[in-house]
Amino acid sequence: MGIGKGAYLKKLTSGTVKWRSIEVGEKVDGSSPPSVFIGAANYPKVYIGPMLTPSYGDTSILDRPEDWITTNKTQDDIIRFRLDLVRGKQQVGVRDLDHRMVGKLQEISLASNSVESEAQFKSKPRGVSFNEEHQPFGPSAAIDKFEIGNTKWDQDLEYVYYDTDLKASDAFFDLYKEGTLVSQIQKALSTGTMGVGKNRRLVPTRWSITAVDSGLADALYERVRYYDIVDNYKVYEFSSLNNYYAIIVMPTPWMYEWLEAFIHVMGKEEYIFADHEYTKGKKEYSTVGGCYYSCKLGVLEALEKMKQQAGAVVLREAYEGYVPLGVFNVRENVRHAMLQQPKEFDSFRASLNYVSTKLRLPISRFVDQGVLLKEMLKYRQTTL
Cβ atoms of 96 and 54 within 8 Å: the answer is: no
Could you tell me if 60 and 122 lie in one domain?
A: yes
pTM over 0.85? The answer is yes
Taking the CA atoms of residue 376, residue 380, residue 381 and residue 384 in that order, the dihedral angle to the nearest 10 degrees is -110
Which range of residues forms the domain containing residue 185? 5-215
Q: Which amino acid is at 166?
A: L
Instruction: pLDDT tens for the chain, 384 residues: list them.
Output: 468 898 898 888 887 657 888 999 999 999 999 999 999 999 999 999 999 999 999 999 999 999 999 999 999 999 999 999 999 999 999 999 999 999 999 999 999 999 999 999 999 999 999 888 899 999 999 999 999 999 999 999 999 999 999 999 999 999 999 999 999 999 999 999 999 999 999 999 999 999 999 999 999 999 999 999 999 999 999 999 999 999 999 999 999 999 999 999 999 999 999 999 999 999 999 999 999 999 999 999 999 999 999 999 999 999 999 999 999 999 999 999 999 999 999 999 999 999 999 999 999 999 999 999 999 998 754 443
Could you tell me if 210 and 268 lie in one domain?
A: no
Could you tell me if 200 and 249 lie in one domain?
A: no
Cα angle 211, 36, 174; round to 5: 40
Cβ atoms of 262 and 318 within 8 Å: the answer is: yes
Q: Which residues pair with 32 in a beta bridge?
A: 115
Could you tell me if 36 and 127 lie in one domain?
A: yes
CA distance 87 to 85: 7
The total domain count for the chain is 2
Could you tell me if 287 and 211 lie in one domain?
A: no
Could you tell me if 287 and 155 lie in one domain?
A: no
Q: Is residue 228 part of a domain?
A: no
